[in-house]
Structure 1
């Protein structure tokens, strides 16, 4: 009896180990296809090490010393370590973790270093061969962004949710960022008064985006789904005496050109206007004209209400042109 039990356990262990090996191999093949897609798009990609991990209860891959560089733009991104894991019983619940190690972005203007206490994104995928994205939840704490000259920005915590709606190609996106503090470079550049608060009130975003197709495994190997309808229900930020609120609706064509209306409200706009004009070389005659126009568009409480129209590839506020509209394309 004991011998039969040992044999059964041995067979189960072999089957379990075989399934784990096949599943981790499939994960690595998917990552290889993703990296190759980046190379095909013109990026240089190097991964120093890709190792299986998580046995026996997790299907995992650990990547070390990842570098993505764009020779044309002379930019590079270096990530020391990425951990990807999912339960062995369902590989569609994926956790992607970046540890508390510096991530470096290099550009012609100089390097930037991103640090945190760790970042994690949890992905829930629909069962099936397509593995369509059902939900993604990301979180990061104690985030800092530094340049050689000093601190650019710090954030206490960021939480983001991306939830698929009843329409497979539509996703509801929410964001909450607390303790967003402009660093010394921003405060000095804008000549922010020392008495101003160190950080923003919580920054909130509620956006619904309809893509041309759902996000699934094909996005790793082929082109990315592209936004076609963007509804900004809420995008708010408040820093000391300043407040910003954005809402609107945009339709995006096949070339990434948006059309629609966006409402931008700025409370106590005069303060930020003065800081910008004091820290830049805007001619005095232009400053006076712009200030008069903005003053005519604000209410008695000092809130500026700007209805921005995007049409035919251009942006305008009323009859005043603002220039070309930005293209909205996911590379």
Structure 2
């Protein structure tokens, strides 16, 4: 009995030592990161760093955050951020964000409000810590800008995953699945009002509701190098993109997309993505309200869309293809300009 008791006390002492050493390493790592960021000319401020959770977790809380890049004119301010990890599984961490934070951009400040905004990061238990999955989810999200706009969303989940058992991920190395599922997306009320105020001859009055019912999709991304602890040195870049699924529903307006793009011999994006837009006659009003098309050009664009839709079996469905070839891209018959470069130039 004494031996068993001694063994239990010894194990408890060892485990306690592991926790206290680990908690100090976490605290020192955070403090060093803030010091290094400040030494590089960034704004990296905090008011407190604490680690709790003994004996089974490392619960890190950083309070009074203010992070900014003065050169880029961007920054983030939050009252706190919490990061949780089990002591026996430090490669899987969960972060919880505050109900409100501020994102500073060069021309505006965006206040982000959320309910249950959290992120999960999971690496594979290997020396290189290859990415397994990052999941960002929230029960409700709003963003209000000093520029005068406000948008929101209900239950939403975004993720990037390297899990090999995901269907359709393909056999190419360094391929990741980027997914988004958002419900009850609320565009800015002023924008929706502008859309519904546009009148275009020979088209029905716009009737878009206040809420976008659904926005979801999955995209396969193939990179030049894996996302692991060496990514900062190797700087992975995108070499191939495949739209596996995309659906959008806003009242009677709906859209789907599918296709793929990859780098050509010159490093420019090449390929095509095919869209099908149901009840396309709501689109010209959207383009005018967004400032992408002048009101006087809207009837001409509407007639062009009508002619293209008339070539399909269902005149309410407009098939359009984004084509990228020889360094240029177009959307159906509309030129969009130079294609983006996917492979960085050498030399």
What are the residue-to-residue correspondences of 1:1-331 with 2, within 5 Å?
8-28=7-27, 43-100=42-99, 102-148=100-146, 152-166=150-164, 169-191=174-196, 196-219=208-231, 221-222=232-233, 224-252=235-263, 257-277=268-288, 280=291, 282-283=293-294, 286-299=297-310, 300-317=314-331, 320-326=334-340
Deviation at 1:200, TM superposition (A): 1.7
Q: TM-score, normalised by structure 2?
A: 0.80
C-alpha change, 1:159 and 1:282, in structure 2 (3 Å) is: closer
Once the two structures are superposed, residues 243-279 of structure 1 have per-residue CA deviations (whole angstroms, 9 ceiling, x without a partner) of 1222221114799842221112222222231343367
Tell which deviates more after alignment, 187-196 or 118-127: 187-196
Q: 1:225 to 1:161 in 2, by over 3 A?
A: same
- Number of equivalences: 327
RMSD: 3.4
- The separation in 2 between residues aligned to 1:112 and 1:36, in whole angstroms, is 27
Structure 1 residue ranges without an equivalent (≥5): none
3-state DSSP class of the match of 2:61? strand
SS in 2 for 1:92: strand
Q: 1-side partners of 2:207 and 2:323: how far apart?
A: 36
Segment of structure 1 superposing worse, 185-194 or 240-249: 185-194
State the shift of 1:61 in Å: 1.9
Q: Distance in 1 between matches of 2:34 and 2:236?
A: 17
CA contact (8 A) 1:150 1:185 kept: no
Segment drifting more, 247-256 vs 269-278: 247-256
Q: 1:223 to 1:34 in 2, by over 3 A?
A: farther
- The residue matched to 1:91 in structure 2 has which SS? strand
* Mapped contact 1:213–1:225 kept (Cα < 8 A): yes
CA offset at residue 234 of structure 1? 1.0
CA shift in 2, pair 1:72/1:185, >3 Å: farther
d(CA) in 2 for partners of 1:259, 1:281: 24
Distance 1:254 1:203 in 2: 34
Partners in 1 of 2:266 and 2:14 — Cα distance? Answer: 50
Tell me the SS of whatever aligns to 2:178: strand
